[in-house]
Structure 1
Amino acid sequence: MAWFTRKKQDDGVAAVEAPVEEEPRLPEPPQLDASGLRSVADHLAYLQSLVEPLRPFGMSLLEAWDQVMCEDIDSMINVPPNSTAKIAGYAVRAADLVDDEGHLAPPLEIVDLDVERLPVGGAATVAPGDVLPRGATAVLPATFGTVEDGRVRLIERVSDGEYVRAAGEHLRFGTRLLSEGDVLDDRGIGLLASAGIDKVMVRPRPRVVVVSSGEHLVEPGPSVQHGEVSDANSYMVAAAAKAAGATVFRVAVHSNEPDAIREAITDQLIRADLVISTTGGRREDYEAVVDVMSELGLVDSVNVAMSPGRTQTFGLIGEDRVPMLMLPGNPVSAYVSFHAFARPLIRALMGVRAEHRPVRAIAAQGMRSHRGQLHLLRGRVTMEGSIRHVTQVSEPYALAELAGANALIVLDEHSEVVNAGEAVKVWLLDEDE
């Protein structure tokens, strides 16, 4: 916001100085605790306050699969759209089947099924599924009458609606099908298509660009030279972002030179709703990205009360203030940080529930944590009947440990010891488990 000031001029005439604009900056961040740490909940809430859901637009049904509805959808037609015969017989007016005294009426004249409207005293031969002519109110089973000289002599009668699948019986015009906030799945697509809907208003998939940088990182391959490290983090994070529902692009710099990093990031801003930066674990690689982020936008760097993943950096980058998240270089820290912060941001951009929904599991062994920090352990959840059990996964090789886990065990800031047999909270990494 511009501000103005006055000062005394040499000639004694007061003049208004040119307006001075304040430098743009991020909103005031949450307070730190006594240890100089920001809580995980405060940090996530702060990041989410800086990101808004993407604007919705109309898409065809197949393009909109697994995306968030931004409107209420009502049926535009009746399903079925016409009344049809359930069995073989004759489309009739039920009122024509009895005379004024309540006896069976005289034989009905057989007319063509494609007649514009069933005449009084008429009957049209129908097969199962045939559309009834207008005016017909029931189907007379073939066994309820005999045909003589082009007429149906009645043996039994039926009432209005008998042996008829009425128009709108399954779905009536104006029935609510899906509501704003629902995620459009395959069954929903079938339902909408059956109701005459071909396009819907949804939020698009967030475009996430994973930018990998690091002087000693190389592309995965059979030959890794001395001093080089295969770039696993960016592939893992890109796959995790895709699993979270994003459209993902991966870009590798393989350098920690500021110019190269700056070019890689700025080139991607035009197609990014979120940028995620990964490195190979060297501190200088991480700091090189943070320095470039500070040049390009507004940056928040903080130590979070979380293990692993203590160091976190976030920024709004470029003229359009594209959100950018810098993940720690250690593979476990990067992956845990993704689920704690990046995944919620992706989901927030989609306009759906952001955080993991924790579930309860029984600990198979004792576990320890540090009071005042959120501890996220790698775990393997199994089912015994309807009860979940979780075992901590511990491997010397970090990526093998992650590969063996299907959950993160959540030990909150108040936990120090969990004994075997006690319940703990877990985030399921495979949502269908």
Structure 2
Amino acid sequence: MAEHTRVDEFLTSLLEICTPLDSFDMPLLDAHGATLAEDIYAGDRLVMKAGSRIRSTQIGLAASIGLDHLPTRPHPRVVVMSAGPDLVEPGKDLKGTEEFETNSWMLTTAVREVGAVAYRVHSIPDDEAQLQNLIEDQLVRADLIIISGERHDDSFDLISRTLSNMGEITTVDMAIEMSGRHNFGLIGPDKTPVVTLPGDPIASYISFELFVRPMIRTMLGASTIHRPSIKAKLEKAIASTEGVRSYIRGVLSEDGSSVVPLANQEELSTLSDATAFIAVGEKDTQLKAGDKVTVVVLERRYI
């Protein structure tokens, strides 16, 4: 039976199954975009701190002090899989209860935005054996596997049974409004971390931001693994369900002082329009205009 799990509890469990990847020296141009694994000194002066993202300015600085390699954490390799008999690739015609496969396209590019190497795999498995063979084929190129199913969770049980045959898997029911069940654990001979996300695209992306992004940042050895959060004035009243957390998509003002919740929260377009999540606690069922709220900033130009 699935446990009912808080956001912080689930994140703690996920971070326990992932560690920074082993570091190695990379040529300067190849190191671009990776994470610096060690402090860099010019004589006695610290010029670059471990855990920072290696950008063009760091490459130039390294060259200026005579370095042609940098110690780096490699980009994690993340396999993003979708599985479900009613999922159809974009560009094809829909029939009956079919729906366009959305999550793997969104999650694969989200993985790349964090700084990892992403591989997208779409499958329509007939049974557990077929799905297991597909997952096993991906283990050779995966530091992390993300799997999502159909919007209505029809394929969740198939995915859960398959993963349970491959390793130690825990199923949790998240205390997040409009979310669903998640799996996590270690599979295969190398104990590769795996996470399953809800089939609904909005719930899937929120879970990616809350849970998978920090996992990837941890593997990168980044100095910070979470999105920044600030306090802002709420411009419009919102309601939430008691006992669960809500992440309302909103637009942050240019100066970061106020936030407007977007209308039609059930629409996928709120993800592309949002510049922030308004984090609503389990005990907050009604928030009125003018209240100070916690805002997770999705676009760094606001801070």
- TM-score > 0.5 by shorter chain: yes
Q: 5+ residue gaps in structure 1? A: 1-31, 76-172
Do 2:217 and 2:225's aligned partners in 1 also have CA atoms closer than 8 Å? yes
1:273-288 aligned at under 5 Å gives the runs: 273-288=143-158
Match of 2:272 in 1: 403
Distance across 1 between alignment mates of 2:173 and 2:250: 25
Alignment equivalent of 1:332, drawn from 168, 188, 202: 202
Task: Quote the offset at 1:355 in angstroms.
Answer: 2.1
Deviations 1:290-326, CA, capped at 9 Å, x for gaps: 1100001110101122223242211211111100000
Report percent identity of matched pairs: 31
- 1:112-139 Cα deviation digits (max 9, x unpaired): xxxxxxxxxxxxxxxxxxxxxxxxxxxx
Amino acid at match of 1:379: G
**How many angstroms apart in 2 are the aligned matches of 1:308 and 1:341?**
16
Assess, with a 3 A threshold, how the Cα gap between structure 1 residues 338 and 174 changes in structure 2: closer, same or farther: same
- Aligned counterparts, 1:233-272, within 5 A: 233-272=103-142
Tell me, yes or no, if the aligned pair for 2:111 and 2:118 is still in contact at 8 Å. Answer: yes
**What residue is the counterpart of 2:9 in the other structure?**
42
Does 1:230 pair with 2:100? Answer: yes
RMSD: 1.9
Q: Who is 1:317 aligned against?
A: 187
Counterparts of 1:261 and 1:379, CA distance in 2: 37
Aligned counterpart, 1:382: 253
1:344 alignment partner in structure 2: 214
- 8 Å contact from structure 1 (residues 208, 247) kept in 2: yes
CA apart distance, 1:396: 7.1
* Counterpart contact for 1:211–1:264, Cα < 8 Å: no
Q: Which has the higher contact order (CA 8 A, sep 6+)?
A: 2
Mean alpha-carbon deviation: is it higher for 316-325 or for 221-230?
Answer: 221-230
Match of 1:24 in 2: none
Query: Quick one: structure 1 residues 235 and 197, their matched pair in 2 at CA, closer, same or farther if it must change by over 3 Å?
Result: same
CA distance in 2, matches of 1:321, 1:181: 25
TM-score (norm: length of structure 1): 0.66
Q: How many residues align?
A: 300
User: 1-side partners of 2:168 and 2:256: how far apart?
Assistant: 46
1:187-202 equivalences in 2 (<5 Å)? 187-202=57-72
For the 8 Å contact 2:233–2:258, the answer to whether it is kept is yes
Which structure carries more helix by proportion? 2
Residues 179 and 274 of structure 1, relative CA distance in 2, 3 Å threshold: same
Match of 2:25 among 58, 62, 66: 58
Say which one has the larger Rg.
1
Measured against aligned partners, the alpha-carbon deviations of 1:136-188 in whole angstroms (never above 9, x if no partner) come to xxxxxxxxxxxxxxxxxxxxxxxxxxxxxxxxxxxxx5532212222212111
- Which SS does the other structure have where 2:35 is aligned? coil
Aligned pairs for 1:13-92 within 5 A: 37-75=4-42
**4+ residue runs over 6 A deviation:** none
In the aligned structure 2, how far is the partner of 1:187 from the partner of 1:338?
29
The corresponding residue for 2:53 is: 183
Partner residue of 1:101? Answer: none
Report what 1:417 is aligned to.
Answer: 286
C-alpha displacement at 1:415, in angstroms? Answer: 2.2
Question: TM-score, structure 2 length as denominator?
Answer: 0.93
In structure 1, the partner of 2:263 is 394
**Rounded Cα–Cα distance in structure 1 between residues aligned with 2:152 and 2:293:** 34
> Structure 1 counterpart of 2:227, which letter?
H
AA partner of residue 382 (structure 1): S
Pair 1:427-2:288 in alignment: no
The farther-off stretch of 367-376 and 242-251 is 367-376
Instruction: Judge conservation of contact 1:218–1:254 (CA < 8 Å) in 2.
Output: no
